[in-house]
């Protein structure tokens, strides 16, 4: 399509997934429009903030496999744009030695021959100072893991997309979608048409899908992003090689607790709980539940004695959860030219480059370069509401 307002593909949502999808489409010479409801950059979705963890450590092989290509794609983007987006720190994984969850993480890395170091109670504090390893807990380090500079990554991929001729229209909310062989998308500022549409709207996915008669079993939760003050400045700093860490489960909670070394805010360590309370994305700040912060405070007191056990800074972010915590990467069940990337369940940032590639392949009708069976919509069966 070449007339004004007509595109090969329209992508809705300029978070990490929509931005990488638009970039991949432009790389394949597709005339692409990326629509974003807020002025960019913004902090109202799931992709904002300075940092995210990148890791191969997972409890399922398919994520560890996807990360192989993903590390290469991150490095390729760094080279292409001449910016640093990743810093290797390692990821310390801890959890009850005999628990299923901890063992699955460990065994998945071992099976995939991922570089790792197993720590013992005897040598733990020599390698990882200022952390108490609970009795009965095991620990290992995923060596290639580290920190992604999230805001910078978003700016970079959007910039590369524009350099390839892609168009970003921000401050423009999509208000309607009319499916068909040519999809019509109405916004607060205009009407656009395209051969295909990709919906990567994060917490707003079901609001947009309502225009297409589909609802997915997605739950949106608010996450309190907590930063904890070092008692002795520098003791958990990235420059002192303090790693990212992940507690598979523990005394305080069933869900993960995870953290990143102090870096973006001097003297403050980012530690979060991998769950929050339900929210409407347009009313995020009305959700004031702090039970996750109480859980974190107890954990910090017990295991991170060098931190003040109450957060110095609390920011907000949102997860869009699926029931099984796996992503949705699929075509719309009724409209093959509408592609959905959703439900990243609080762990999707690191996969951005590979998800962009897969959603691009789906929208071009190509054979996906990864097995998408864990990510198909049909796995939800009865939970998928359809008015079609
Ligand atoms: C606190 C926190 C910590 C995390 N830590 C990690 C981590 O360490 N490692 C990791 O890999 N992942 C992590 N994640 C998860 C990761 O950040 C998300 O999976 C990812 O950002 C999801 O991106 P997205 O593009 O799907 O959604 P979003 O970033 O929310 O993007 C969706 C976009 O669509 C736009 N939009 C919605 N509706 C419309 C409309 N009608 N019109 C136009 N635009 C619209 C929104 O404004 C938004 O910009 C974390 C998430 C949080 C919240
Ligand atoms: O995806 C990640 O690495 C982080 C840490 C573990 C829980 C979710 N997000």
Distance, CA of 231 to CA of 229 (rounded, Å)? 6
Write down the pTM of the prediction.
0.97
Share of the chain above pLDDT 70, in %: 97
Question: What is the DSSP annotation of 95-130?
Answer: EETT-HHHHHHHHHHHHTT--EEEE-TTTHHHHSTT
Cβ atoms of 224 and 292 within 8 Å: the answer is: yes
User: What pLDDT shows up at residue 252?
Assistant: 81
User: What pLDDT shows up at residue 234?
Assistant: 96
> Residue 91 CA: which ligand 2 atom is closest?
3
Tokens of residue 254, six digits: 């069933």
Residue 338: count other Cβ atoms within 10 Å of its Cβ: 23
Residue 9 CA to ligand 2 center (angstroms) comes to: 31
Residue with the smallest CA separation from ligand 1 atom 51 is: 346
Share of the chain above pLDDT 90, in %: 96
ipTM: 0.99
* Residue from 29, 45, 28 nearest 37 by CA: 45
Bridging pattern class, strands 244-247 and 91-96:
parallel
Average confidence (pLDDT) over 37-49: 98
Ligand showing the shortest atom-to-Cα distance for residue 352: 1
Please work out whether the CB of residue 319 comes within 6 Å of at least one atom of ligand 1. Answer: yes
User: What pLDDT shows up at residue 250?
Assistant: 82
Under the banding of pLDDT at 50, 70 and 90, the label for residue 383 is low
| Tens digit of each residue's pLDDT (9 = 90 or more) over 302-313 | 999 999 999 999
| Tens digit of each residue's pLDDT (9 = 90 or more) over 201-218 | 999 999 999 999 999 999
> Residue 203 CA: which ligand 1 atom is closest?
30
User: What pLDDT shows up at residue 154?
Assistant: 98
Residue 17 CA to ligand 1 center (angstroms) comes to: 8
Residue 78 CA: distances (Å) to CA of 72, 244, 356, 359:
10, 21, 16, 21
For ligand 1, mutation pick of 155, 157, 201 (most atoms within 8 Å of CB)? 201
Cβ atoms of 206 and 212 within 8 Å: the answer is: no
Average confidence (pLDDT) over 173-186: 98
User: What pLDDT shows up at residue 382?
Assistant: 67
């Amino acid at each position: 399509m070449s007339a004004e307002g007509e595109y090969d593909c329209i992508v809705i949502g300029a978070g990490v997934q929509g931005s990488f999808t638009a970039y991949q489409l432009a790389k394949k010479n597709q005339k692409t429009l990326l629509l974003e409801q807020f002025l960019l950059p913004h902090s109202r979705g799931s992709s904002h903030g300075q940092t995210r963890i990148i890791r191969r450590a997972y409890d399922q092989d398919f994520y560890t496999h996807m990360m192989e290509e993903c590390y290469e794609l991150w490095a390729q983007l760094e080279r292409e744009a001449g910016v640093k987006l990743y810093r290797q720190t390692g990821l310390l994984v801890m959890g009850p030695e005999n628990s299923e969850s901890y063992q699955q993480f460990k065994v998945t890395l071992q099976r995939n021959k991922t570089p790792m170091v197993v720590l013992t109670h005897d040598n733990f504090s020599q390698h990882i100072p200022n952390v108490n390893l609970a009795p009965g807990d095991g620990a290992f380090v995923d060596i290639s893991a580290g920190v992604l500079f999230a805001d910078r990554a978003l700016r970079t991929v959007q910039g590369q997309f524009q350099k390839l001729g892609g168009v970003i229209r921000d401050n423009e909310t999509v208000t309607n979608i009319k499916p068909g062989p040519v999809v019509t998308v109405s916004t607060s500022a205009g009407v656009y048409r395209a051969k295909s549409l990709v919906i990567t709207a994060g917490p707003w996915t079901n609001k947009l899908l309502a225009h297409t008669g589909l609802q997915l079993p997605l739950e949106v939760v608010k996450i309190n992003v907590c930063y904890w003050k070092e008692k002795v400045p520098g003791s958990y700093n990235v420059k002192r090689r303090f790693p990212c860490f992940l507690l598979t489960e523990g005394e305080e909670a069933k869900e993960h607790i995870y953290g990143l070394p102090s870096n973006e805010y001097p003297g403050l360590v980012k530690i979060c709980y991998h769950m929050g309370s339900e929210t409407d994305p347009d009313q995020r700040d009305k959700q004031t539940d702090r039970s996750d912060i109480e859980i974190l405070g107890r954990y910090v007191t017990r295991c991170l004695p060098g931190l003040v056990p109450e957060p110095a800074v609390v920011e907000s972010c949102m997860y869009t959860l699926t029931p099984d915590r796996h992503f949705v990467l699929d075509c719309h069940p009724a409209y093959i030219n509408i592609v959905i990337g959703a439900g990243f369940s609080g762990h999707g940032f690191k996969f951005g480059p590979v998800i962009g590639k897969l959603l691009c392949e789906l929208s071009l009708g190509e054979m996906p370069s990864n097995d998408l069976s864990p990510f198909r919509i049909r796995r939800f069966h009865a939970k998928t509401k359809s008015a079609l």
